[in-house]
Structure 1
Amino acid sequence: MDITGKTILLTGGTAGIGAAMARQLAEKGASVIVTGRSAEGLARAREQGFEAIAADLSGPGGAQAILEALGDRPIDILINNAGQGVDHDFRASPPDIGAADDCIYANFNSPVRLIAALLPRLKQRPEAAIVNVTSGLAIAPNTGSAVYCATKAALRSYTLALRAQLSGCNVHVVEALPPVVATQMTAGRGGIKMPASDCAAQIIRAIERNDHEANVGMVKVLRTVHSLSPKLAGKIMLRF
Structure 2
Amino acid sequence: MDVAGKSVLLTGGSSGIGREIARQLKAKGAKVAVTGRDKERLAAMRDEGFETIEARLGNAHDVDGLVADLGTRDIDILINNAGQGVDHDFRVGAPDPDATDACIYANLHAPIRLITALMPRLKARPEAAIVNVTSGLAIAPNGRSPVYCATKAGLRSYTQSLREQLSGTGVHVMEALPPLVETNMTAGREGKMMAPQDCARQIVDAIERDRPEANVGQVKLLRRIYSISPALARRIMLRF
Common fold, TM-score beyond 0.5?
yes
- Paired with 1:155 and 1:78, the residues of 2 have a C-alpha distance of 15
Q: Tell me what 2:30 maps to.
A: 30
- Paired with 1:78 and 1:47, the residues of 2 have a C-alpha distance of 22
Q: Tell me what 2:122 maps to.
A: 122
Gaps of 5+ in 2: none
- Paired with 1:65 and 1:31, the residues of 2 have a C-alpha distance of 21
Q: Tell me what 1:84 maps to.
A: 84
- The answer to whether 1:97 aligns with 2:97 is yes
- Paired with 2:176 and 2:121, the residues of 1 have a C-alpha distance of 22
Give how far 1:59 is off.
Answer: 1.5
Deviations 1:135-164 (A, max 9, x none): 000000000000000000000000000000
Contact 1:86 1:148 in 2 (8 A): yes
Q: Which moved more, 1:64-73 or 1:77-86?
A: 64-73
Aligned pair count reads 240
Q: Tell me what 2:225 maps to.
A: 225
Deviations 1:111-137 (A, max 9, x none): 001100001100111110000000000
Q: Tell me what 2:146 maps to.
A: 146
Contact 1:4 1:30 in 2 (8 A): yes
- The answer to whether 1:200 aligns with 2:200 is yes
- The answer to whether 1:39 aligns with 2:39 is yes
- TM-score, normalising length from structure 2? 0.99
- Paired with 2:237 and 2:45, the residues of 1 have a C-alpha distance of 35
Q: Tell me what 2:75 maps to.
A: 75
Q: Tell me what 2:177 maps to.
A: 177
Q: Tell me what 1:12 maps to.
A: 12
- The answer to whether 1:238 aligns with 2:201 is no
- Paired with 1:135 and 1:28, the residues of 2 have a C-alpha distance of 25
Counterpart secondary structure, 1:179: coil
Counterpart secondary structure, 1:175: strand
Deviations 1:21-63 (A, max 9, x none): 1110000000000000111111111111111101011222221
- Paired with 1:58 and 1:181, the residues of 2 have a C-alpha distance of 23
Q: Tell me what 1:112 maps to.
A: 112
Q: Which moved more, 1:51-60 or 1:7-16?
A: 51-60
Give how far 1:64 is off.
Answer: 1.5
- For 2:6, the aligned partner's letter is K
Deviations 1:143-202 (A, max 9, x none): 000000000000000000000000101000000000000000000001000000000010
Counterpart secondary structure, 1:121: helix
Counterpart secondary structure, 2:94: coil
Identity of aligned residues (%): 65
